Structures are given as structure tokens and as C-alpha cells.
Chains A and B, each alone.
Chain A
Amino acid sequence: MPWRRLAIIAFIIGPILALLAFGFTRDARYITSPLIAKFATPFTITLFDGRKLTLDDLRGKAVFLNFWASWCPPCRAEARDLEAAWQKLKDKNMVFLGIALQDTDQNALEFLKEFNVTYLNGKDEAGKIAVDYGTWGIPESFFIDPQGRITYKHVGAIRAALVMAKLEEAAKGIVSAQEGRGDYQPIR
């Protein structure tokens, strides 16, 4: 038995197979964001009620930033959760801000009406805010601490419990080690 030759073959083919097997343990579509622990890019947004809001206005509060769209089923799944979380955290020093992407005013407003969303919402006009935050999926949620640093990012539908937990952490300035994942859809 030519053991040496067989060993050489195993040593060449083995790592290739291992590499391919490794591919199974991760999602090929998923892009890890480089933005965690960095300062959130400032932006100005026109809210649906006509006011203009800049991110700096929210300095000093923990911010939950949620990118959504009316045509996205996972956003529909999480909408009531987010509203429920907002209702619980309304009186604390926290802000919920939703940004509608790639959507029309009418559809976005209908969405908000359907799910009784009461927190601040606006529309990202030219998609600049989406690019500033490296958005590639919908919905995406960012948690920003009072100093303006991004502490956690969650791609996909998020549950109320996680929202509240991560906001608490954000208020204290704790940066999460890993991103979170839920049911998401690619952006259009």
C-alpha cells in the first residue's frame, strides 16, 4: 500500500473538503457590518408629520433606529412587537425612530396606520441614509447609545424582548460583541 502517496492525497483534498464544509456553517448572503462601535453617521430626516429631525437632536438618549418598508413581510411581522416595546419604554430616556426605505409615502403611512405605530417615523428620500448605515437587508435595526455610538445591529425581524434588552444595554453604553439575525429580506 503506497501510504505516502495516499497521505499526500488526503492532505491536499482534506483541507479543500473542510473548507467547503465550513461554508455550511455560515450564511453566504450575510454581510457583517463594520459599523458596530463606530459613531453613527449623522443625518437629517423629514418625519411624516412634517418636522425635520437630525440625529444630533437625539444625543443624550438611547436610540432605536429601524429601517423598514411596507412591502417587506418580516417588517410586518415585527411591527406590532416594536410598537409594544415602544409603549413600554416611552417614558424612559429612549427614542424609537423608524425610517422607511424604497417606499412611497402612501404605502408607508398605510403601514403605520395598520399597525398603530406611534413612534417617530420618516422616509429616506434618496437612499442616502441607507447607504450611510450599510443597509443591505430589510428590516435592519440599529441601537445607538447616548453618546452616538452604534452598540448593536440586528438584521431581520426583531422581537420586543430583544429590543428592550439591547436598548437597556445601549443606554449604559455596552457594545455588543456580535450582530443579531432574524428573518430578513434583501433590499430592492
Chain B
Amino acid sequence: MIAALGHTSILLAFLAALVGIASPLIAARFEPERFRAVARYSIFGQFALVTLAAAALIYGLIATDFSIKYVAFNTTRATPIYYRVTGLWGALEGSLLLWEWILIIFAGIVAWVYRKRHHEMMPWVVMIFSIVSAFFLGVIGFLSNPFETVSPIPLDGRGLNPLLEDANMMTHPPLLYTGFVGLTVPFAFAMAALIVGKVDEAWITTTRRWTIIAWFFLTAGNLVGAWWSYHVLGWGGYWAWDPVENAAFMPWLPATAFLHSVQVQERRRMLKVWNLSLIIVAFSLTIFGTFLTRSGIISSIHAFSSGPVGGFFLGFLAFVLLGSFGLLAYRADMLKEQPELDSMVSRESALLLNNIVLVSALFTIFLGTIFPLLSEAVAGVQVSVGAPYFNSVTVPLFLFLVFLMGVGPIIAWRRASWDNLKRSFLCPAIAALLLGLGLFAWKIRDFLPILGFTLMAFVAFTIIYDTALALRARKRIAGEGIIRGLVTLTRRNQRRYGGFIVHLGVVLIMMGIAGSMSYSLEKEATLALKQNLQIGNYRIQFEGLKGSQQPTHFRVEGAFRVIHNGNDEGIMSPALKFFPIQQSPVGRAVHQSSLGEDIYLILSGFSELDRNQATLKVLVRPLVIWMWIGGFVIAFGTLICILPMKTTQLSDT
């Protein structure tokens, strides 16, 4: 019954989506207002029906209704409730339903919020939403149906993959999907603007806001993914440059580029075509990402298996790319502008360079991800492109980006004279250089890390210096203290100071990355009881093994005493979990974080005969915690950017 209900809802929603597509096309012949309403109601209808379907599936999962094939394949009677709910997005069909659900929620919000505005554009926005929604509903309804029934009804289900039984399963996929889907909103507005012919004030404001929201979720989703990989998966790393990871990261780059270049469009009414292209590329990359994950053309740890959906995703990707760029090409004449700049040394050009670097990074990562295909197609040689390549190629790009992060926000608009540059940058630059020399003197001798840290310090110092100057001005003018001054400054220049905080967060993340990439220590050894392993300032002593039966698996824990600089820090117990269905055990690493470094223990193996022997891998990773701290800082900064704080409108929101 549930299955029938769910499936019918999806099919009805599909019909509603078709109506939504048709409505603006027919609207011209009849009263526009009526058809605007029809378009809106088709979105609301889709929302209601898809929510019903999602609720049905969640109910089926919680109630372990094994007549539904999806439930039978993804839960067992023994699975706890919260993992049953996450089973909604644990496999292919359900993840598509989740995507569609989030999409229609966004569409519903947009349709509701703008029901009285943007009259000309809204029907077209609805149409674009409906096209995307119709595609996903079509795939869910006809190709990859989560409500398929199975008979005879099995007694128990197969269960979720043990690797996915983790708290992060509740945050990482939904956050990431929200980020992806969020990019559909600016895309819809971009297309509507092209069709209608208005790429100006209204469009910019709307699009920018939604892009920030999507960008925030993308950042959060990727960071939680990195955290999951580091914290749970047990290989000590947070980013493997896996093709699917790259696919999740790639939309972030044009989104960031857009958020920066839109400022130029706001002030100088330039770069319209460029901004539209960025949004199209960002949205296309989200479709590309889901295509890559579900088609199996590139091997990846995260990939869903290749079902019939892959080909249709490619077809949809083709439709989106050709359609949107075609429309852009067709309408580009209408967007003619008279671009002019005052000087090559100005914030405008810094922002343009920022865009160039980000797009280059995007190209690099895309090329690396696609390259195995390219190599095989062109030369018949099978190559694989792994982390060492990406690390070595993206580092210079990101260092350049850090440099721009320091210069860009501070340098003047229009024209920065030599005097202006000196005033803004001399002190921070000197401070950064001093810090760099200090680091060099201390113990960091390698070129890249020194350069990286110096640049990051430069960024931090420019921000601090600029804020200090502004605070001093506030004091002089209005007599405000530091806190009051900060509040006022932020109120008046929300985006500026929100951006500062976000940049600081990014610098913290890069600091974490630089530290852990350049100065990690690693050691592996087989230890007998009471034997020691020395690494860095740590001494690890093996205390013994312990086995215990858990509800879903058998767990072997190794107890290791960690002694740091002579201080006994207690016992850490990495484990190996043996699941009945898995052939190899799943590792559970443990780590202890401090501001300076993390100590990370992995139990690689143990001798089954002799319980007094274990193979241990220890990693010492400096500065990793700053990545997660940086993430929170970015979240805080984003909130400051978008929260309505103004009482008086001093600058555009």
C-alpha cells in the first residue's frame, strides 16, 4: 500500500511538473495572471506530492516494510531507527528522491517568497524548476523506482553498508545535496532573465542571495565529508581527490567566483555574460557530479553502481549545457555593455584575477578527473590520476588565491595609487615577512610551507590592520569603543565584514591543510605487549587486545597508552570491526586533537593466534583542528553576510 501510494504520488508529481513546464508557454495567449497562478500551484502541488512520497518511503523504512525492495535492501530489523531514516539516502533510488525533495522545497520557497514580485520572470523560473524536477521525477518514477515491490517478502533485510552506519551520515549527504540543489535557484533565475531579457538590478540581488546560501551548504557539506573521512574512515586523511569528491568540490569553485565577480557587476554593470556563464557552469557541474556518481564511468569509492540512470543523466546534462549556453549565445547581443575600468591596479582587476584563478583551478580539477577517460579514448593507455598529482598542481593555484585574498578585499575600487597601496599594505606585509622569518628561524625551512604561511599571515594581518584603522576612525568620529565600533562597522558594511570573517575562516582551513600536508609524521610497526613505538614527541605502548560482541558486529580493540613529552595521556583504543556480511574488517581509528597537532592511531591488524601482538599505524598530523575551526568561522561569516541586520539602508544589501 505504501509502495503504491508513493509511486502514484511520484507519477502525479511528474504530471504536475509537465504542467509547470507548459504554463509560461501558454501564458501569453491567455491572462498572464491566471497562468502565473497555475505555475505557482504546479510547484506547490509537486511539493505536496513529493513530500507525500518521501514521507511514505520514510515510513516504510521506519516500519521495516520489507515488501518494498528498497527497504529490504537497505535496512534490517536490527538497524536502529536513525540509520533507517538515513537509509533514505543510502542507496541510489532514495538519494534521487532526496534530491528531488530538496529541489521542490527550494522551488516552493522561491515560488512563495516571490509570488508578488518579479512578475515577468517568475513563470519562467517556475518552468526551469519544473524542467529539472520533471527530469528527476521521470527518473524516479520510471527508471529507478524506490517503491518497487519484492515478492516473496523476505524475512529480513540486507541492511545498510556498515561503513555508512555513522552519525555523519545524517549530516553530510543532506548538507551536500542542499548545496547542489541550491544552485538550481540562481540557475533558474539566470535562464529566466535570459528569456525575458533582464539581467540587471533585480536579478543580481536575488541571484546573489541564493548563491550565498547554496555556497554555504556546499562548503559545509564538503567540510563535513572531510571530517567524516578523517574521523571515521581510518586512513588518516581528509581528502583523497577521489573523482566523486572532486565532483562535489567543483561546483564550489564557480560559485565562489560568481560571488566575487558579481560585485563588479553591481558596481560597474560589467561582466554580465561572464556571470551568467559562471552560474550555468556551476549548475551543470552539479548535474555532472550526480551523473559521475551514478554512471560508473569513472571508478570511485563513492560511486553508486551503474544502473540504467547513467545514460539519462548524460542526456540531461547535454540538454542543460547545450540549452543554456545556446540561450546565452542567442541573447548575448541583448546584454551588450560598455565595459570600462579606471586602472589596472584596482579591486576590479583583483576580482577578475580571482575569477581567472578559480576557473583555472576548476579546469585543472576537471581535467584530472576526466583524464583517465581522455587518455584511454585518445591513446588507449590506462592511467589513473591520484592525490599526488592534484596536490602538486593545485597548490600553486591556491597559494596565488591566498595572495589575492589578502590584496583584494582591501585594495581600493577604481584606482589604487601607490600611496594608497602603501597605506593599506605596507604594515601587514612587513608583519607577515617578519612572521615568515620567524618561522624560518624556528624550524620551518621548506620553501612552499614558508611561502604559504607567510601569505596566510599576510591575509590575516591585512584584515586586522584594516579593521583596526576603521575602528580608530569610528573612535575618532563617534567615540565608540572596540566592541561598539565592530558592531557598527558590521551593521553598516555587512558584506564587507562578513567577507572578512569568511576569508579568515578560509585562511584557517588552509593553515590546517598546509600543516598537515607538509609536516605529518607516519609510522607503522608490529608491537608485542608492552612494546613501544616512538614517533615525534610521542611514545605509544601496546597494552593489549580486547574482543567484544556488539549488536551488529564483532569488535576487536587494541589498547595503547600514549605518552607525550613524558606525560601519560591515557589509553586510546583503535578498533577493527568485523561485520558478518563484509569480507574485510572495517577499521575504526581514534585520534586526539589539540591545537597544535593530532595524534592518530589505526589498528591495522593483529595476530589471531597470539593475542599479544598488534600492528599499529600512528600518524601525527599538525594543525588539523584548524580546518574544523575554520569551518565554523566560515559559517559565522556567512551568517553575518546574509542575516538582515539593517535598520537603515546605507548600502545595497
Contact = CB atoms under 8 A, between A and B. Distances in A.
Task: Decide if A and B touch, CB cutoff 8 A.
Answer: yes
Interface of A: 1-2, 5-6, 8-10, 13, 16-17, 19-24, 26, 28-29, 31-32, 71, 188
9 contacts: A1-B330, A6-B330, A8-B329, A16-B370, A22-B373, A22-B377, A28-B297, A28-B372, A32-B382
Interface in B579-595: 583-584
Interface residues of B, number: 28
B605 interface: no
B74 interface: no
Nearest to B381: A32
Contact of A2 (B295, B317, B333, B583): B333
Nearest to B325: A9
B322 A10 contact: yes
Contacts of B382: 31-32
Interface string B292-314: 00011111000000000011001
Given A5-B329, A19-B370, A24 B310 contact: yes
Contacts of B370: 16, 19-20
A75 B479 CA distance: 82
Contacts of A22: 373, 376-377
Interface in B451-494: none
Contacts of B310: 24
B321 interface: yes
B317 A6 contact: no
A56 B133 CA distance: 64
Given A5-B332, A13-B321, A23 B297 contact: yes
Given A19-B373, A19-B377, A188-B584, A24 B325 contact: no
A9 B326 contact: yes
A164 B373 CA distance: 35
B5 interface: no
Nearest to A28: B299
B374 interface: yes
B387 interface: no
A2 B318 contact: no
Contact of B376 (A2, A21, A26, A71): A26
A2 B298 contact: no
Contacts of B298: 23, 28
B326 A6 contact: yes
A24 B377 CA distance: 12
Given A9-B322, A17-B318, A188-B583, A24 B297 contact: yes
B325 A13 contact: yes
B445 to A, nearest CB: 38
Contacts, number: 61
Interface string B343-387: 000000000000000000000000000101110110000100000
Given A20-B373, A32-B382, A188-B583, A9 B329 contact: yes
A31 B299 CA distance: 11
B296 A28 contact: yes
Which among A16, A21, A23 has the greatest number of chain B C-beta atoms within 10 A?
A23
B158 to A, nearest CB: 16
Interface of B: 291, 295-299, 310-311, 314, 317-318, 321-322, 325-326, 329-330, 332-333, 370, 372-374, 376-377, 382, 583-584
Contact of B314 (A1, A20, A32): A20
Contacts of B374: 19
A26 B296 CA distance: 10
A19 B297 CA distance: 10
B314 A2 contact: no
Nearest to A1: B330
A24 B325 CA distance: 25
Given A19-B374, A20-B373, 7 more contacts: A2-B333, A17-B321, A20-B317, A21-B314, A29-B299, A32-B382, A188-B584
A24 B295 contact: yes
A74 B444 CA distance: 54
A21 B322 CA distance: 15
Contacts of A26: 376
A94 B299 CA distance: 38
A24 B318 CA distance: 15
Which 6 residue pairs of A and B lie closest in terms of their CB atoms, listed nearest first? A23-B297, A5-B329, A28-B299, A9-B325, A23-B373, A13-B321
A20 B299 CA distance: 13
A29 B303 CA distance: 12
Given A20-B297, A29-B299, A71-B583, A6 B376 contact: no
A187 to B, nearest CB: 11
Nearest to A32: B382
B583 A23 contact: no
A16 B329 CA distance: 19
Contacts of A28: 296-299, 372
Contact of B329 (A2, A23, A32): A2
Nearest to A18: B377
B332 A2 contact: yes
A13 B325 CA distance: 9
B370 to A, nearest CB: 7
Contacts of B584: 188
A5 B376 CA distance: 30
A127 to B, nearest CB: 14
Contacts of A2: 329-330, 332-333
A19 B317 CA distance: 13
A155 to B, nearest CB: 14
A136 B296 CA distance: 18
A45 B374 CA distance: 40
